[in-house]
């Protein structure tokens, strides 16, 4: 639900170190992650039902071209690359926009919201994997996502984490995400219709928290629900204007904050609709 602030391509964070490989996958393998094999099969079936014939968007090579662009831009995590290889982005956009699904562009999903550029999502996931408490096991652990949108990032997170709770304040988008994710039968995702600013305390603490909307500050509830050793990535307004990704690590001694690259996200709002 975001876009680059100035529209120019950006490199991935310079301090990125490749994450450890997942069980059953070599360092260079693009074989499916847990549970990617089942996801891939379900996506193929769904694509044949949803996308008109002739577009060729149900073909894995189409996604691989997108993945190759991400690799060329500096993404080095094989786990994140494998997730992008598996999740069929065209299932998360309107069929009229399906031909643009694998371009590096944001696309409207209704209600003033968009599905984010693949490159922007990839940078956020890379930051997350880079600081993941469970990185040695190749996953993000327990994840809280603020802003389900159409469910695309939720699906990616499901392949990278052990459990995902995703909150969406707009009921039509909450229902859209549910329909889209139902096509892929991902048991690791729990969708919640609620106020993202308050987080979701019943399943806290979380090892990873990622927000798809930007506010003037980081809500205290998010910090409270972040596990010690966990990482939070969220767009936040900057003193000089605009937004930037803010990365916060929770340590035993407190919180460590850094500012990443500039971005432009939809506003973070309270309440539900």
Please identify every residue annotated as catalytic.
116
C-alpha 130/C-alpha 80 separation (Å) is 11
For residue 258, the Cα-to-chain-centroid distance in whole angstroms is 20
Instruction: Kindly give the interhelix angle for 36-50 and 171-184, rounded to the nearest 10 degrees.
Output: 110
Between the two ends of the chain, the Cα-to-Cα distance in Å is: 17
C-alpha 110/C-alpha 124 separation (Å) is 23
HSE-up of 220 (CA within 13 Å, CB side)?
A: 0
Instruction: Of 183, 123, 195, 122, give the one whose Cα is nearest residue 150.
Output: 183
**Alpha helices (runs of H) in the chain, residue ranges in sequence order:** 36-50, 60-72, 78-86, 118-130, 152-160, 171-184, 220-225
- Indicate the Cα dihedral angle 3, 8, 14, 20, nearest 10°: 50
Element spanning 256, H or E: strand 254-265
Which residues have a Cβ under 8 Å from the Cβ of 119 and sit 6 or more positions away? Answer: 4, 9, 10, 69, 70, 73, 104
C-alpha 14/C-alpha 257 separation (Å) is 17
C-alpha 167/C-alpha 159 separation (Å) is 18
């Amino acid at each position: 639900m975001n876009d680059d602030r100035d529209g120019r391509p950006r490199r991935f964070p310079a301090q990125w170190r490749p994450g450890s490989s997942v069980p059953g996958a070599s360092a260079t393998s693009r074989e499916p992650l847990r549970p990617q094999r089942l996801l891939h099969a379900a996506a193929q079936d769904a694509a044949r039902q949803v996308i008109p014939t002739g577009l060729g968007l149900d073909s894995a090579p189409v996604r691989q071209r997108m993945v190759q662009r991400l690799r060329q831009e500096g993404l080095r995590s094989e786990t994140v690359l494998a997730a992008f290889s598996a999740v069929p982005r065209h299932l998360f956009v309107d069929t009229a926009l399906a031909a643009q699904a694998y371009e590096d562009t944001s696309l409207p999903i209704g209600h003033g919201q968009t599905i984010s550029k693949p490159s922007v999502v990839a940078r956020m996931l890379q930051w997350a994997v880079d600081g993941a408490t469970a990185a040695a096991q190749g996953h993000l652990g327990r994840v809280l996502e603020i802003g389900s949108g159409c469910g695309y990032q939720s699906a990616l997170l499901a392949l990278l984490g052990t459990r995902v709770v995703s909150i969406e304040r707009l009921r039509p988008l909450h229902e859209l995400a549910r329909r889209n994710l139902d096509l892929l039968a991902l048991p690791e995702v729990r969708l919640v219709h609620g106020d993202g600013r308050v987080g979701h305390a019943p399943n806290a603490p979380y090892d990873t928290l990622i927000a798809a909307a930007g506010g003037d500050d980081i809500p205290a509830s998010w910090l409270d629900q972040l596990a010690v050793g966990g990482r939070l990535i969220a767009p936040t307004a900057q003193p000089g204007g605009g937004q930037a990704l803010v990365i916060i690590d929770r340590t035993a001694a407190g919180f460590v904050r850094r500012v990443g690259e500039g971005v432009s996200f939809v506003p973070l709002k309270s309440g539900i609709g």
